[in-house]
Structure 1
């Protein structure tokens, strides 16, 4: 293998490993799933960066959970002052897809 091919293989391997590490770390940025016993199934909502209850047998089914409170709809969540404050914080903006530049080609 020529020096150029070895160098390119090394660059590609590094880029691939960096991508895999970055993808694997997205769950670490998420808050822990709520431990509220009135809902057994939680789903992550990428748009709001919050969890919602997907437990059809729960009285909170379809509700969003943020800051210890349930919100009956996405509109109620996004209209709340607590959520607006969260959205303007760096916690919300640092997620993947947040529009922040950096990394390869950023």
Structure 2
């Protein structure tokens, strides 16, 4: 994802208060995906939504929770720990699950390098 695209995504999420909808079109039908509200946790000031996992990820490199997944009020240091959570398993199998991925994946190591400084 280009730096401009990433910035626009973050601005868009910020302007909608964390409640964004992504529409997927196919064969004349549309499906709307409701992204969970952005966490209001003082332990992290910068968030990125992981489309595949359907949860927020701490993107605050000054936080001890940097790159941790956030679900149900809990930080998970790894995808393995997130997937082991009974709460996450229940969420993932529910109709509220906002994941599933996309062709323009966001997240760490998904085509972008460096920050605004390069």
Q: What is the TM-score with the length of structure 2 in the denominator?
A: 0.56
Which one has the bigger helix percentage?
Answer: 1
By how many angstroms is 1:75 displaced? 1.0
Counterpart residue number, 1:87: 92
Q: Where in structure 2 are there 5+ consecutive unaligned residues?
A: 1-19, 24-32, 103-118
1:63 and 2:59 aligned: no
Q: Which stretches of structure 1, 4 residues or longer, exceed 4 Å deviation after superposition?
A: 94-98
Q: Which has the higher contact order (CA 8 A, sep 6+)?
A: 2
Larger-gyration structure (1/2)? 1
- Cα separation, 2, equivalents of 1:37 and 1:86: 24
> How many pairs were matched up?
74
Deviations 1:60-87 (A, max 9, x none): 1011000011111111101111100001
Which one has the bigger strand percentage?
Answer: 2
